[in-house]
């Protein structure tokens, strides 16, 4: 008999969800201990509600930039920039916890995105999605004014 393990040896692996729900946390446990630090992988800033075709064109411009998206939540519009905090460590903990910015200190897990089922009222990832939404609101743009008016000639300096 060989000392080598048999290729037919089967070791069942128990697959468990090691991430408890909020309700399953035991006293003293912190939600962040089980999270992937979603809150440190982006920032979102409120933007003015677009009201005109021109406003939607600005939103298209935002989405022409890498790692940006726009979402609507509770009638408020936001630009979301998908970028990781440079102080997030490999273990998903803050590398400057004691000196972290005030916005991080005030952040609460009460309404955080710990659950994986988080959704927005509307979510736009591409300029084409914004254009389609704009056309649904305003109709297709007329092509009569497709180009900007020709600018005045610059004065000749002599």
Q: How far apart are CA 10 and CA 36, in angstroms?
A: 32
Mean pLDDT score, 93-102 = 95
Q: Where are the alpha helices (DSSP H) in 3-116?
A: 53-63, 102-106
Q: Which domain holds residue 62?
A: 37-108
Q: Where does the pLDDT of residue 127 fall: very low under 50, low under 70, confident under 90, or very high at 90 and above?
A: very high
Longest dimension (CA), the chain: 101
Is there a domain that residue 43 lies in? Answer: yes
Backbone angles phi, psi at 47, to 5 degrees: -130, 160
Mean pLDDT score, 108-129 = 88
Is there a domain that residue 150 lies in? Answer: no
Q: How far apart are CA 128 and CA 99, in angstroms?
A: 41
pTM comes to: 0.71
Listed range (32-36, 97-101, 120-124) with the worst mean pLDDT: 32-36
* Structure token digits, residue 46: 């409120």
Q: Where does the pLDDT of residue 10 fall: very low under 50, low under 70, confident under 90, or very high at 90 and above?
A: very low
Q: How far apart are CA 91 and CA 78, in angstroms?
A: 29
Is there a domain that residue 69 lies in? Answer: yes
Is there a domain that residue 87 lies in? Answer: yes
Helix (H) or strand (E) holding 77: strand 76-81
Is there a domain that residue 14 lies in? Answer: no
Is there a domain that residue 47 lies in? Answer: yes
- What is the three-class DSSP state of 80? strand
Give the pLDDT score at 5.
Answer: 45
pLDDT, mean over the chain: 86
Number of domains in the chain: 1
């Amino acid at each position: 008999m060989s000392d080598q393990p048999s290729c037919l040896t089967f070791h069942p692996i128990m697959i468990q969800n090691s991430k408890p729900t909020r309700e399953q946390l035991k006293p003293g446990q912190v939600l962040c201990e089980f999270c992937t630090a979603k809150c440190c992988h982006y920032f979102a800033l409120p933007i003015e509600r677009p009201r005109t075709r021109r406003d939607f064109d600005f939103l298209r411009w935002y989405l022409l930039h890498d790692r940006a998206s726009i979402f609507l939540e509770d009638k408020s519009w936001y630009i979301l920039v998908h970028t990781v905090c440079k102080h997030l460590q490999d273990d998903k903990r803050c590398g400057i916890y004691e000196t972290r910015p005030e916005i991080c200190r005030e952040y609460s897990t009460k309404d955080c995105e710990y659950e994986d089922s988080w959704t927005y009222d509307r979510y736009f990832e591409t300029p084409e999605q914004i254009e389609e939404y704009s056309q649904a609101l305003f109709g297709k743009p007329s092509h009569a004014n497709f180009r900007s008016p020709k600018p005045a000639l610059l004065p000749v300096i002599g």
